[in-house]
A and B are shown apart, each in its own frame.
Chain A
Amino acid sequence: MTGLLSIAMIVKDEEAVLRDCLDSVKEIADEIIIVDTGSADRTLEIAKDYTEKIYSCSWQGDFSMARNFAIEQCRCKWVLSLDADERLEDPEGTLRELISSTAKEAFMLPLKNYTGPGCSAYTVIGVLRLFRNLPQYRYIGRIHEQVGIANQETVGYSDKSVICHSYNGYYRRKEKYWRNIKMLTAQLVCEPENEVFIKYYLGCERLGLGQYQQAYDCFLFAYEHLDKEQVHFRSSTVRGMVACLTAMGRFADALAVCMKETVEYPQYTDLYFDGGIALEQLEEYAIAARWFTAAVQAGTPPALYQHSNGTESFLACYHLGHCCEQLGSCEEAAQWYEKALAANKNFIYPIYRLFIVLGTKQSCEKLIKYFTEQGYAASEEGHQALGELLFASGRPDLAARVCGQEDKPVKASNELAKYHLYSGNFEQALAVMEELQACQGMNSAALMETDILCYLFLQDLNTAKEKCLNMWRYEPWRGKALALLTLTKRLGGHRLTVGEQYQPVLIDSLLKIIADCSRSYGESSGAFIKVAKCCTDIISDFRQGTLALFDYWQSEIKGIEMLLDLRHKSVRGLYVWKRPGH
């Protein structure tokens, strides 16, 4: 044997991801073995930049066979088996040290499986990918193949190095599900003795496709046949079942499974979290809060359990906040939201609730200061969220300030233009739009609309009209253009007959303008009120429009009631009076 570590990979059409993968291992590996099963793209070209040990092997419909072929080419003492869409992260550079001074036969490494865009949505599970290069260690199973090691005592676990599986877009994932289902079904025929495992994997694939009942049946079979000692598979099966039941709206059943299995696996955080979710759906907030608290207390579960990132911290905290809110203790809710944000600033949802809860007590100015100091709005998304919230709170001036903060280069956006517009800073709004236009052209309906509205508020009806007619020329924006033109005309005292097919768009667009106008701020309120009143006038010409307008007022009422509920729920009778239904 020469060298310490071989990387063994099988690839097919991986040009999009291969370079990332190989970059992540080129320093640490003594050799890289790549077995190609028939790529038609630039995969081999890329591979050649990293290694000469490239082999070709015709695809037999069996992953194990291909992998074992790759392992057989390895010449080093240890083998790390990687997929092309994975990367190895070894931040402390300790992996080589680990394997050069151990008596273990193999190691499980955490596999982070990204389940969404961004860096916090992932699950973690320990996988056996690093093992001594010995003939008895070979893959078995056609798909979701595993290396068999009889003596579990000789398997170590290290969380210093992590394998990261990159997030695939929706369509890529969907394709894979179908491919896998086909292969698994084939495997089931040839390996009936592995039915339990195969059914589990089938469950996973069907869950991914949203076929919940079928997925549940698969998981249930695995669940009934797996031994309790097979923690690795069985715990994942349990979660799969719970996920299916929750998705099907069978919350009580999901909860029952969680209750039973938390007794079996008291360390399995995710089950407490799932139970909390089910209880939340059942509107049992006090009990749900207890389950989420249990999830936080349980912490990160041992490596054997498939673990969704955050169920032990920010996700649980977020849901605890929600439960507290429902229970009428909003101070506590705020504390949980703060904890969630402290645990993971990239998970921005708590920002919305925290802002609303605190906003029933503190002024917007104070909230901005607080959110900035805490760094909650540091990320791009956080920034945008804060802007949205301030606008919704009727302070577009502050929203504009947040979006155009001094320490960051002002990024022109349609939102910023809108915030300026409804603060009555028409000049600035126009300036932002000019900048946008310069870099991207008038290529969005929203931008055009903001532009036209600006001229309407400035009472420059002629320019507005021209711009409406210009917008009209783009087929997909015709409805919107017509709505704005109708508004322009009506402001000038003229009526425009609107064809029936455009009515829904017209009503929608004008309602949106009414809503935005009612969030305006500052000296120019007269201009906004004038336009908004004109919108109501137009909308009420239509039967459907009147109903939509009525609904709009009702939704405003609901919104205010929601805010009052946050702090005063137990005196609801003082502000929620019976209103007619419609």
Chain B
Amino acid sequence: MPKISLCMIVRNEEKCLAKCLASVQGIVEEIIVVDTGSEDETKRIAAGFAAKVIDFIWTGSFADARNASLEAASGDWILFLDADEYLEQASHEALRKATAQTDVEGYYIPIINIYGNDQQPEQCRDILFRLFRNRSDYRFRGIIHEQVLNSILEKDQNARIESAQDIFIYHYGYLDSQVQEKDKVTRNLAMLEQQLKDNPGDKYVCYQYGLELYRAERYREAIEMLKQALAGLTPGGPEGMYFPKLIRLLVMAHYQAGSYEEAIEYVKYGLSIYPNYADIYHYGGLCFYVLRAYGTSFEYFMQAVKQGEQAYIYGAYPGMNGYKSYFYMGKICEEFGNEEEALGYYLTGFRENPAFHIALEQIIRILVKGEEREDVRKTLAHMCECCTAEAKYLIGRMLFVEHSYQLAGEYFEEAVAAGLNTAEVKICLAICLGQQDRVNEAFRLLDEYVYHEEHSTRALFNKVVISWLQNNAFKVRSFTESLMLKGLEGDFEAIVRLLRASPKDNFGLVALRPDSSEVLFDILLRAIDHGDFIKVDEILARMQQAWLNTYALRLMQMYASYNRLVEAERYGYICFGNHQENFAALMCMGDIKSKKAEYWEATEYYRAAVSADPGNPRAYIKLLKIYDKLCLVTLKMAVEKHPDVELFKVMLAQEEAEL
């Protein structure tokens, strides 16, 4: 049976090394660990696994260090792992089989990269050359992202190189926590720069350097580097292993740099070579989405979700042929005002990956807007049956953001009952209870935090708001006194004064900064949710005209969404006084006129909206709907004026059935 030597280079890897070494127990005969200067427990841990530890003075080159480990290896095969990687237990058998092959010189092995944040990591599969015969000619080159394959192929151009698809290495070094810890990007960039100086024109180094530049969000430089990597390269050959990823990265870098047309060129090029590469379809869809060519965009996402299992060499990102593409299909439906269809796509995405929260946010936003509370409750219960306390809180939070306080409160209560005990959930719950006039319960929750170092202001302030909603001027006064004793920052003090003001108080008109304005809007929306439109009017009457001008659109939309059309219109006209061609304002005004059954006027506004932003389908859709209404009006008038004409009755019935 051929012997396998595990080779690694390490430095200060005490946190991960044991996990790595444990994963190869019983499959490798020898462990060579080249240590480049650890100051922690690394070497001791290695020794604990009977590894041969070599101290190596760092030369600035990963290849040198790796080659030192090869020099010490005595097995027939070399398996290379990084300390932040481990071999899947189930792969041992496959590894045995692979090394038993007599005519293969080396293997590409699938690497599963785990990245993103630690709570919801994402996976991305890749494939790297990590297993090869131990021969003195086979040595690493390059300072970082060092390669050994070139030296094998130089020896024998026809050397048989395979990919071992049933061996899996997991790499978790790109988890956010790991990346932050090591500041990998900066380190890698510096090293790659050096490596490029040493090997100018090396395609693979260019690719790796481009990748790091992309990670560092230096997209323009990344593009230049990646173009160098691509120049003269062909899809076949040994470079074939990273060619598809190179194309995808070029697409992504152009996309991030805002060069969508160029990105699309690479999308087309990529698909001409790899017609089933879901990631490329997805990014193509994104480009067309930004360019607002929604039809084409939709086709691309559609293609993305049609693609099946992705080849290893694609290094496919998760969700590209599934939930992430469904998400954008939903977005496109919404661009056409079709929320029902959108909901379907968001649900498909969410079902595929329940950890994909953005989809759930959209679902909740749409549900809350369109459905009765009871239906929303049922739908949500149906969707997320087996929720943990955290999940309950999360959904509560999403409902809370959409001002659906009662439902949010129910979820927060369940979360608390299930053992979640944070200030955040309790204060949010208190707010929800306050909205439902369950004042005592709310206060009991808030009182826990009134003297809390961190949350005291927030707790106290919410007691003020709840008392204000209850018209309890006395309590408002007394709580605000305590608040003001703390010494409040100017804007916040102004808000507090707005809440405690009695009609005869006169303290000059108020203006607020953007962030404080958000706080005020939150209060206004709570008042509206509570049914206190007069309170809203009173507060707005104390705001400066300049502030009202700035927030006229927001106020118009706020009133319109609660069907207060007179107020909404008033702020609409303020809006148009400022800038006539505001698309959102024109659309909102069209909606208001439409609700008032002033269809002609509505068409005027929607037409102006088309003119203001001709690339946005929403205004066209609204016009279609208005013309449908006008057809209906025409037919109704016809039936009235010509009661003897049967045809009009038939047409009216038909039209009504359609709408």
Contacts and interface: CB of A to CB of B under 8 A. Distances in A.
Interface-central residue, B295, B634, B642, by most chain A CB under 10 Å? B295
A553 B630 contact: yes
Nearest to B334: A574
Contact of A569 (B295, B601, B634): B295
Given A553-B634, A560-B620, A571-B336, A363 B296 contact: no
Given A328-B295, A568-B294, A360 B614 contact: yes
A151 B18 CA distance: 97
Contacts of A179: none
Contacts of B627: 553-554, 556-557, 560
A56 interface: no
A577 B637 contact: no
A361 B614 contact: yes
Nearest to A572: B295
The secondary-structure label for the interface of chain B is helix
A408 interface: no
Given A518-B607, A540-B634, A556-B623, 16 more contacts: A328-B295, A329-B296, A362-B614, A394-B610, A525-B601, A529-B601, A540-B637, A540-B638, A540-B641, A546-B642, A554-B631, A557-B628, A570-B296, A571-B298, A575-B617, A575-B620
Interface residues of A, number: 45
Contact of B631 (A360, A553, A560): A553
A561 interface: yes
Interface in A530-582: 532-533, 536, 540-541, 543, 546, 549-550, 553-554, 556-557, 560-561, 563-564, 567-572, 574-575, 577-580, 582
Query: Top 9 A-B pairs ranked by shortest CB distance?
Result: A580-B654, A568-B295, A574-B336, A570-B295, A546-B638, A529-B600, A361-B615, A553-B631, A571-B298
Interface-central residue, A546, A568, A571, A582, by most chain B CB under 10 Å? A571
A395 interface: yes
B645 interface: yes
Contacts of A563: 620
6 contacts: A364-B611, A529-B600, A533-B600, A568-B617, A572-B295, A574-B338
Nearest to A331: B293
Interface string B289-304: 0001111101100000
Contacts of B402: none
B72 interface: no
A359 interface: yes
B188 to A, nearest CB: 39
Contact of A571 (B292, B294, B608): B294
B333 A575 contact: no
Interface in B610-658: 610-615, 617, 620-621, 623-624, 627-628, 630-631, 634-635, 637-638, 641-642, 645, 648, 651, 654-655, 658
B166 interface: no
A360 B604 CA distance: 18
A395 B610 CA distance: 11
Nearest to B650: A580
Interface in B294-321: 294-296, 298-299
A323 B615 CA distance: 22
A532 B630 CA distance: 13
A93 B642 CA distance: 77
Contacts, number: 119
Given A546-B634, A564-B620, A582 B658 contact: no
Nearest to A556: B627
Contacts of B336: 568, 571, 574-575
Contact of A394 (B607, B624, B635, B654): B607
Contacts of B84: none
Contacts of A572: 295
A546 B615 contact: no
A574 B611 contact: no
A567 B294 CA distance: 7
A59 B508 CA distance: 106
Interface of B: 292-296, 298-299, 332-333, 336, 338, 341, 600-601, 603-604, 607-608, 610-615, 617, 620-621, 623-624, 627-628, 630-631, 634-635, 637-638, 641-642, 645, 648, 651, 654-655, 658
B611 A393 contact: yes
Contacts of B295: 328, 567-572
Interface-central residue, A328, A394, A518, A567, by most chain B CB under 10 Å? A567
Contacts of A580: 651, 654-655, 658
Given A540-B638, A563-B620, A571-B295, A582 B651 contact: yes
B658 A564 contact: no
A188 B294 CA distance: 64
Contacts of B612: 363
Contacts of B604: 525, 529
B599 to A, nearest CB: 10
A533 to B, nearest CB: 6
Interface string A387-400: 00000011100000
Contacts of B608: 394
A541 B634 contact: no
Contacts of B637: 540, 546
A540 B637 CA distance: 7
Contacts of B638: 540, 546, 550
A543 B646 CA distance: 11
A329 B293 CA distance: 10
Interface string A90-104: 000000000000000
Contacts of B603: 518
B460 to A, nearest CB: 49
A360 B296 contact: no
Interface in A341-366: 359-364
Contacts of B298: 568, 570-571
A578 to B, nearest CB: 6
Given A571-B295, A582-B651, A550 B631 contact: yes
Nearest to B622: A560
Interface-central residue, A395, A529, A546, A563, by most chain B CB under 10 Å? A546
A328 B654 contact: no
Contacts of A360: 614-615
Contact of A549 (B611, B614, B620, B634): B634
Contact of B651 (A395, A550, A568): A550
Contacts of B621: 564, 575
B658 A575 contact: no
B316 to A, nearest CB: 25
Contacts of B610: 394
Nearest to A549: B634
Interface in A294-346: 328-329, 331
Nearest to A565: B295
B614 A363 contact: yes
B403 to A, nearest CB: 28
Contacts of A582: 651
B639 to A, nearest CB: 10
Contacts of B615: 360-362, 567
